[in-house]
Amino acid sequence: MLEKRTPIPVSEAVKKVMSIPQKQKTEQVHLHKAYRRTLAEDLIAKHPVPPFDRSPYDGFAIRSQDSSEASRDNPITFQVIETIGAGSVCSREVQSGEAVRIMTGAMLPKNCDAIVMLELAHAFSENETNYMTIKREFPAGHNISYQGEDVATGTILLKKGTVINPGTAALLATFGYEYVTVAKQPTIGVFATGSELLDLGDPLEPGKIRNSNTHMLLAQIERAGAIPYYMGNLPDEFDLCYNRVKEAAEQVDMLITTGGVSVGDFDLLPEVYAKLEAEVLFNKIAMRPGSVTTVAVWQDTLLFGLSGNPSACYVGFEVFVKPVIGTSMLQTKPHLQKVKATLIEPVPKANPFTRFVRCALSYSNDQLQVAPSGFNKSSAVSSLAKTVAFMVLPGGTRGYTTGDLVDVLLLESSEGSEWPWE
Ligand SMILES: Nc1nc2c(c(=O)[nH]1)N[C@H]1C(S)=C(S)[C@@H](COP(=O)(O)OP(=O)(O)OC[C@H]3O[C@@H](n4cnc5c(N)ncnc54)[C@H](O)[C@@H]3O)O[C@H]1N2
Ligand code: MOO
Ligand SMILES: [Mg+2]
């Protein structure tokens, strides 16, 4: 008899997946390889930034009190005793009436407390001695870039779990991190199942289609920050599927299959999980697309049985696999970032289940706007190419119209959410 499946709410399904403990290993990588990796320890300032008082301009360093009487009618001339560029340090203490020619980034000489920009001084030489004249006062602190004005020693600059961006790389370099402790990226195997599937180079033949899900998933896995392993296609033959899934699950941190999770005669994954004696967390969710998404645990390894329908497979990955990847990499906001956007075209279909509409975003009058990205059936592949967000329409709602404010999950944001579900 056909097994009866009971759908559970999306939030409950996500909770179940997230309750399976992840390994959370760390490793050291060279800073040049750290982009998009996740910091595995807090970054604390080991020294002030800048590390010394310095000049923000090309100019002259002076003792401010020496300029106090300067005016148009009373120009004051200083003897220029030395020239220093960034990286050099003035060799002498500056005395009354003396100045140092100083370039941007150079350390402020002892006793100096103001910088005169080159443009505001008249420089000249007489008898092989250099001088400069000013016609106004430069108060103490004028044009000084102070030690620690950017960062004070001991400041927690970034928390463990932060995804490294170009700015983070600059900060790590500032504190001399040649190697950075980052979260290890989980490895994720991907199998496509289905006797109808052709490889990329195969010509079309009657009844067959090309496997698109695997290639989509490899990119989704990379976008989420993990390491994908391409495992090829599996025809709908039980022994082969069982053996290959078992073998692969022993080698990777998580395993994704697409297809074969519904109730059809050739949907073999439920039987594979049964023979493995894997614990099935759920096999029906109150969502569209992706209602048949199935997740099982076998020997601490999560087995994600994503739907074969391309749009359902896509949604299943972002809702269930992505947050697990983030958590295993210590991220504190592993889910998709949730924002509000205004609908710019009607979505009249009623929503018996929570609906994830694949969407494109735009801006108008400073407002974030959202619209479906095209053909929106579970089987659709065309709309995925323009998808950068999901509109989340709660179950039990009627259609939505232009102007309605809706919840939107962002797919390309590195910000994330702690928990976007109600
Ligand atoms: N009697 C019922 N039939 C179906 C139900 C149901 O509840 N009762 N659920 C439907 C829903 S909803 C979905 S979604 C699909 C899920 O099917 P499966 O996950 O079992 O996937 P398959 O049967 O293997 O394939 C479905 C569809 O997707 C195509 N496909 C599969 N793999 C790929 C791939 N790698 N690349 C591109 N396209 C792929 C496949 O050819 C099928 O057209 O079941 C409904 N049926
Ligand atoms: O699971 Mo199906 O994708 O709801 O259409
Ligand atoms: Mg099927």
ipTM associated with this complex: 0.98
Regarding whether 346 and 317 lie in a shared domain, the answer is: no
38-86 pLDDT, tens per residue? 999 999 999 999 999 999 999 999 999 999 999 999 999 999 999 999 9
Ligand that lies nearest to the alpha carbon of residue 285, given by its number in the listed order: 2
pLDDT recorded at residue 414: 86
1: pLDDT strictly greater than 70: no
Regarding whether 370 and 312 lie in a shared domain, the answer is: no
167: pLDDT strictly greater than 80: yes
Residue 130 lies in a domain: yes
pLDDT recorded at residue 26: 98
Q: What are 367's two structure tokens? A: 């407002």
Residue 245 lies in a domain: yes
Q: What CATH number has the domain bearing residue 302?
A: 3.40.980.10
Residue 11 lies in a domain: no
In which element (H, E) is residue 97 found? none
Regarding whether 290 and 203 lie in a shared domain, the answer is: yes
Residue 23 lies in a domain: no
Domain of 230 in residue numbering reads as 187-328
How many other C-beta atoms are found inside a 10 Å radius of the C-beta of residue 332? 12
Regarding whether 278 and 178 lie in a shared domain, the answer is: no
Looking at residues 382-405, what average pLDDT do you find? 97
281-322 pLDDT, tens per residue? 999 999 999 999 999 999 999 999 999 999 999 999 999 999
Q: What CATH number has the domain bearing residue 129?
A: 2.170.190.11
Regarding whether 178 and 191 lie in a shared domain, the answer is: no
Q: What are 292's two structure tokens? A: 């048949």
Residues 109 and 118: their CA atoms lie apart, in Å, by: 17
Question: Distance from the CA of 309 to the center of ligand 2, in angstroms?
Answer: 7
CB contact at 8 A, 267 and 233: no
**Nearest one of 309, 290, 304 to 194, comparing CA atoms:** 309
The pTM assigned to this predicted structure is: 0.94
Ligand that lies nearest to the alpha carbon of residue 195, given by its number in the listed order: 1
CB contact at 8 A, 189 and 251: yes
Residue 8 lies in a domain: no
Question: Distance from the CA of 217 to the center of ligand 1, in angstroms?
Answer: 16
Residue 422 lies in a domain: no
Residue 95 lies in a domain: yes
Regarding whether 170 and 80 lie in a shared domain, the answer is: no
For 144-161, b where at least 16 C-beta lie within 10 A, e where not — what string?
bbebbeebeeeeebbebb
Q: What are 362's two structure tokens? A: 């735009």
Looking at residues 403-422, what average pLDDT do you find? 94
* E runs forming strands in 184-328: 187-193, 197-198, 209-210, 227-234, 254-258, 279-282, 287-288, 294-298, 301-306
Q: Which residues line ligand 1 (CB under 6 A)?
A: 192, 194, 196-197, 209, 211-214, 258-264, 267, 289, 291-292, 307-310, 312, 378-379
pLDDT recorded at residue 3: 79
Indicate the SS3 state at residue 137.
Answer: coil
Ligand that lies nearest to the alpha carbon of residue 378, given by its number in the listed order: 2
Concatenating the DSSP letter of every residue in 156-184 gives EEE-TTPBP-HHHHHHHHHTT-SEEEEEP
Regarding whether 292 and 212 lie in a shared domain, the answer is: yes
Q: What residues contact residue 9 under an 8 Å CB cut-off, 6+ apart?
A: 285, 286, 354, 395
For the chain, the domain total comes to 4
Residue 144 lies in a domain: no
Q: Which residues line ligand 2 (CB under 6 A)?
A: 288-292, 307, 309, 312, 378
Regarding whether 386 and 311 lie in a shared domain, the answer is: no
